[in-house]
């Protein structure tokens, strides 16, 4: 398992476009949004969280779009499938590496920008935890869409993933509102964490079964 983690981390680190691109896009979106409106006419704090949520959804999809396709196209995914008995572990490792190198930094960027736009210092860590569990869920969902759309076009992955992701976005918005108003944070966070941990355990099994249909 450690060898798999090291191997996947090494591969992702040398694919700058795969991990650095989504992070830079998220930073640009969060910087450009306040600059594109007249902040004197709007209370930025009222809807800045909305742009964080939307950018999280968009960047999560962008980051996982090629999580399996590049390995499939160069033949390395098939080679790993033939060599590894537990293909589930390979999928779990790959998703975990993407969450660690892309998802967690995305959550950190979102929480830092929320703090820079007026969120209290004691609320920024709550935002970080909420965004981290949200990326855990979204990365698993969009990874499934990416696995499903291999050789079938990205549109299939979008059509399958978005209906699954929308309830997560609603739950994420509710969780952020609990931080703003200071009520029900633990309950909503527990629900978000529960969904995230269940998907983290179940979704790699589904994804590995989906990938096998392309490889056999």
Query: Which of 20, 92, 32, 114 minimizes the C-alpha distance to 62?
Result: 20
Instruction: Give the start-to-end residue ranges of the domains of the chain.
Output: 2-215
Note the pLDDT of residue 132.
Answer: 94
| Whole-number Å distance between alpha carbons of 33 and 56 | 14
For the chain, the average pLDDT equals 83
pLDDT band at 38 (very low <50, low <70, confident <90, very high): low
Q: Per-residue pLDDT tens for 134-149?
A: 999 999 999 999 998 8
Note the pLDDT of residue 194.
Answer: 93
Average pLDDT over residues 110-117: 84
Query: Which of 57, 16, 55, 59 minimizes the C-alpha distance to 32?
Result: 55
Q: Per-residue pLDDT tens for 114-132?
A: 887 777 778 888 889 999 9
| Whole-number Å distance between alpha carbons of 130 and 193 | 9
Through-space distance between the first and last CA atoms of the chain, rounded to whole angstroms: 24
Q: Is residue 39 pLDDT above 60, yes or no?
A: no
pLDDT band at 192 (very low <50, low <70, confident <90, very high): very high
pLDDT band at 14 (very low <50, low <70, confident <90, very high): low
pTM of the model: 0.89
Note the pLDDT of residue 206.
Answer: 93
């Amino acid at each position: 398992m450690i060898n798999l983690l090291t191997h996947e981390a090494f591969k992702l680190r040398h694919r700058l476009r795969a991990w650095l691109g989504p992070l830079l896009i998220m930073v640009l979106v969060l910087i450009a949004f306040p600059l594109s409106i007249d902040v004197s006419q709007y209370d930025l704090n009222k809807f800045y969280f909305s742009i964080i949520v939307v950018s999280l959804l968009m960047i999560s999809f962008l980051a996982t779009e090629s999580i399996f396709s590049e390995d499939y196209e160069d033949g390395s995914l098939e080679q790993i499938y033939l060599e590894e008995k537990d293909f589930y572990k390979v999928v779990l490792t790959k998703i975990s590496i993407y969450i660690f190198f892309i998802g967690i930094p995305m959550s950190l960027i979102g929480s830092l920008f929320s703090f820079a736009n007026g969120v209290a210092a004691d609320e920024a860590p709550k935002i970080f935890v909420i965004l981290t569990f949200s990326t855990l869920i979204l990365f698993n969902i969009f990874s499934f869409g990416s696995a499903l759309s291999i050789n079938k076009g990205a549109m299939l992955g979008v059509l399958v993933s978005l209906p699954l992701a929308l309830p997560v976005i609603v739950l994420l918005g509710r969780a952020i509102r609990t931080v703003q108003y200071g009520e029900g944070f633990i309950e909503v966070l527990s629900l978000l964490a529960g969904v995230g941990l269940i998907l983290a355990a179940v979704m790699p099994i589904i994804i590995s079964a989906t990938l096998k249909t392309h490889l056999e």
